[in-house]
Amino acid sequence: MPATPDNDNSFDGPMVFIIIGKAYEQDGDKEGVDIHVMLRAPDDDTAVREALNALAEEGFLEADLDQIGTMEDVPDEEPHASAYKGALTGEVAIIRFG
């Protein structure tokens, strides 16, 4: 089911969001893990809420989300290409770095 933007911008494809930030698995963890979360959502508020829920389900206690945007093109390189495909099917893909 295609998502419809909630503003005046027209968008031809599915709205796949990418959220960039840092997530923490333990209390007092100063380092954290750099993450990208990719998912399909009707708007950015829903995308953030679903991303935070998915991170909590994966055992993260806290997250600092720095950037959010929509993917304009299908990524060519892994791991983002697989995450994009998963997002199209309704999955919330969490990419961990480091």
- Residue 9: inside a domain, yes or no? no
- Residue 75: inside a domain, yes or no? yes
The string of pLDDT tens digits covering residues 49-68 is: 999 999 999 999 999 999 99
Please provide the average confidence, as pLDDT, over all residues in the chain.
89
- Residue 11: inside a domain, yes or no? no
- Tell me if 51 sits within 8 A of 95, measured CB to CB: no
- Residue 1: inside a domain, yes or no? no
Helix locations, 2-89, DSSP H: 44-57, 80-88
- Residue 47: inside a domain, yes or no? yes
- Residue 44: inside a domain, yes or no? yes
The number of folded domains in the chain is 1
84 pLDDT band, cuts 50/70/90, is very high
- Residue 2: inside a domain, yes or no? no
Specify burial of residue 29 (Cβ count, 10 A radius: 0-12, 13-18, 19+): middle
* Residue 46 lies in domain: 16-97
The string of pLDDT tens digits covering residues 3-20 is: 455 555 555 667 999 999
- Residue 6: inside a domain, yes or no? no
Q: Measuring CA to CA, which residue among 77, 97, 82, 86 is closest to residue 22?
A: 97
- Tell me if 37 sits within 8 A of 67, measured CB to CB: no
pLDDT at residue 93 greater than cutoff 80: yes
| Predicted structure pTM score | 0.84
The string of pLDDT tens digits covering residues 22-56 is: 999 988 888 999 999 999 999 999 999 999 999 99
